[in-house]
Structure 1
């Protein structure tokens, strides 16, 4: 443990860097509350999106890094601001007309449009928890509705009344002059309509801890700030929540970064040091637009898990959190293959390398072996070439390449085979566009098919290339099971047919044989798909039957 801690204290992996910042808060000893509190916030105004998952995944990585460098106990709270008023009806839910009459009511007072839970807030909270549970996160869930109503927030709300002028001074600096005239940190919940009211306060009384205001109809009300009668505006709520829970760390997106001084200032006014922060860049859809809960653009958690493993999504979240990422379906195959590349590398690395490897943080230091004997990108090309309808078809090819592999001994490989078929059917197949070969490509493809018919023909193709280039090289051992030998054959045919640069030859192979603009290392594809099957594929393409 000593070596691990010593190395972790020096590691440049970003979760360790953030964990060290948190540890500096308690250089003199553990906090009085007895633990370090990590928090993530969630606004359940729409269905949870993948960015919400990213916050919890990344915070969990930092929490684990902290536990590696410190013996102070930790907690992780996922806090849902479900007392927030529904400002607009999300565009990606059913029964939208029925929701409109509930605008401005707390999300936990809005009926569930799906008819599954007591409220829309409860529905979205349940979805979030289901998503997080899928990934095995260890967290405690807090509902703002329960937090306010149960009295857990009462002491901080009373303090907010006492420090009302100080908090208002912080807020007013950030508001336009017109907004300053009506702004209040308190949002009363109307006793009759149940709506969250955005109205100015006529009086904030520190003696009775009440607020007095006129509703939209001009009727005056006085309500206690405790017991769930009043909630805080979202910016003051951030800082007040930190103070109430004594939060030590929270991360949020770049769109919140300009508010950090506001959140921190309010937290300090309410008597608690501001937590450590980590600001991450936003997730974008394929068009470069910010992913939104209400519009439902980008890739959802369920959608990602339809085509790839949970670990691949965690890997995507680990990578460069301070760089904006396009979150669309095309990134999934790359994330899967890179995750397994790191997994394979991990077990041969020294401790420093392992702590800098994303998979250490994805698996909390308990890193499994990869059983992916075939890359995911290659599986997609196999599915494309064979028009696969099920993973059993895929296993027929996998077993040519790895005869000892089975679904039982390689469950990750088996899962990936099913994902590949699904991904092929939904994304690759609809986008496949085959073309006829040019005369040069036709001649080269015919020669490639001929070279693959026997070891002698393959060696002759390599010898012809050597003669053309004036090289006096010994011919390689003819092994049709070897990726490298088959790649040499493909390379030789392209060279003798004058493709310059040679990538034009490989582009032709992908476009004519696979209906794609890019593809795998073709020697590996042949070894996996089969030599005879590849010859048949070429002949079918030359007959024009793929177009």
Structure 2
């Protein structure tokens, strides 16, 4: 056994803990299908969103961990439920009146309101693939319509029909009385209209592989359950999919735990072990409310990527997946700086420690090297953001003027990641800092401390390092009767930056320049700042 395998077996990071479930699952023999199958699901009635990203990136992290623990090949299916009927018209698409005429049809029969693809389902599937490809995920796209229409689900559908009563016994107690009275796991697809029907099932014939249902016009229709003539309600559909594909791992949100439990029971009833699973907590908005696609609260992937690199979003998804977390604009700067910190720490860590570092999981064991286009902590996102604030920067050139003086060897070509960070800082400052800046007028104690800090900065050696400047700030603060040093730094942030939090002031002064920092303090003292 290699050292890498030994380290992986001892790793405690949550993706390794999840991957060990799969090692245990196949400890006696590898899967007959020849690979371990990971799956993520997507409902293409709408566009991909931040939850889609979170589920795929987290599943990918578990897959990567498993690949370090086992030699069994793996596959990841990104499964689109495009056989579903269109139940309501989304509010964020064009041609809504046209879509309303096709309610009930499977999504791959509904015309594309954007006019670019074969159907609405095909359009959203293309969006999903483009979304996943843009992040470089390794996956295989799978279409529910294709599996149903090609017959690859036929055996599973016949298995559900043979276990019809048992499936009903599992499902009915979970339903309201009114819903239970007409519930059936099968949804016939009307051969005249293409609509996926929610109608009573009058008879089942397992031997013939058919059901009899009452059509919307009142007539009785006998139809095969195979060949795309029927689809399943989503919970039995989930279970049947696991059963047919022999899915080994699928995670889902905490809100779906009851659904997972039902699908697990149905899967076992059909004769297959359900997949290993993981239930992640849902995100909260800035008010502590759960994020909802219909409400539009919270953050979208596109909004995050306006202000930060995708690696920072991957880190946010990695950290504490079973804890409810606020997903709003104010978490972005911390996520970026935490990412940079983990990347920088990675280089000096022992092999076992590296497996616990989020950077390992974000980059599949090969994070970038700091200093080679990735800034070290001295140039954190927080520092750049505050520099943009005091310089009132609206262009990259303004910030690069300071950065180049601080790091003469860096430029937008040699440090492309840093160049992106500069742009992100300007965007974030413009949209989320500038509108809320409010400078505090220093009181007598703060004025005395600022006056002493001004003199100390001007007397500092010409080439004083960020650490030396930080020590100066500390020493000045200690000489004045602040209740604690934290109050001194808060006073600096409020009087010099117009906000309650900020960066290491020594690093900020070093980057902004001693002369410029001294001028900033003078403005705070004479009331001309802001």
TM-score, scaled relative to structure 1: 0.92
* Correspondent of 1:391 among 370, 376, 396: 396
What residue is the counterpart of 1:408 in the other structure? 413
Distance 1:540 1:6 in 2: 59
SS at match of 2:355: helix
Is the Cα–Cα contact under 8 Å of residues 47 and 294 in structure 1 kept in the other structure?
Answer: no
1:80 is aligned to 2:63: no
* Correspondent of 2:431 among 418, 426, 437: 426
What residue is the counterpart of 1:469 in the other structure? none
1:362-401 equivalences in 2 (<5 Å): 362-370=362-370, 371-373=374-376, 374-401=379-406
1:516 is aligned to 2:517: no
Distance 2:54 2:494 in 1: 36
Is the Cα–Cα contact under 8 Å of residues 90 and 294 in structure 1 kept in the other structure?
Answer: no
What residue is the counterpart of 2:269 in the other structure? 269
Shift of 1:407: 2.4
Shift of 1:415: 1.5
* Pairwise CA RMSD: 1.9
Distance 2:295 2:189 in 1: 27
SS at match of 1:52: helix
Distance 2:427 2:322 in 1: 32
Distance 2:451 2:202 in 1: 87
What residue is the counterpart of 2:136 in the other structure? 136
Shift of 1:439: 3.6
Distance 1:392 1:136 in 2: 30
Shift of 1:479: 5.9
What residue is the counterpart of 2:329 in the other structure? 329
SS at match of 1:277: strand
* Correspondent of 2:470 among 487, 496, 514: 487
What residue is the counterpart of 2:489 in the other structure? 506
What residue is the counterpart of 1:151 in the other structure? 151
Q: CA 1:141/1:103 → structure 2, altered by over 3 Å: closer, same or farther?
A: same
1:177-216 equivalences in 2 (<5 Å): 177-216=177-216
Distance 1:258 1:129 in 2: 29
Shift of 1:70: 0.9
What residue is the counterpart of 1:228 in the other structure? 228
Mark the runs of 5 or more structure 1 residues left unpaired by the alignment: 456-477
What residue is the counterpart of 1:35 in the other structure? 35
Stretch moving more, 354-363 or 402-411: 402-411
Q: CA 1:105/1:543 → structure 2, altered by over 3 Å: closer, same or farther?
A: farther
Distance 2:273 2:479 in 1: 71
Distance 1:96 1:447 in 2: 66
Q: CA 1:428/1:97 → structure 2, altered by over 3 Å: closer, same or farther?
A: farther
Q: CA 1:427/1:113 → structure 2, altered by over 3 Å: closer, same or farther?
A: farther
TM-score, scaled relative to structure 2: 0.94
Distance 2:13 2:486 in 1: 36
1:209-358 equivalences in 2 (<5 Å): 209-358=209-358
1:60 is aligned to 2:60: yes
**Which stretches of structure 1, 4 residues or longer, exceed 4 Å deviation after superposition?**
none
Distance 1:202 1:277 in 2: 36
CA offsets per residue over residues 109-132 of structure 1, 9 Å max, x none? Answer: 333333333333222222221121
The count of corresponding residues between Structure 1 and Structure 2 is 525
Mark the runs of 5 or more structure 2 residues left unpaired by the alignment: none
SS at match of 1:453: helix
CA offsets per residue over residues 132-152 of structure 1, 9 Å max, x none? Answer: 112211100011111111111
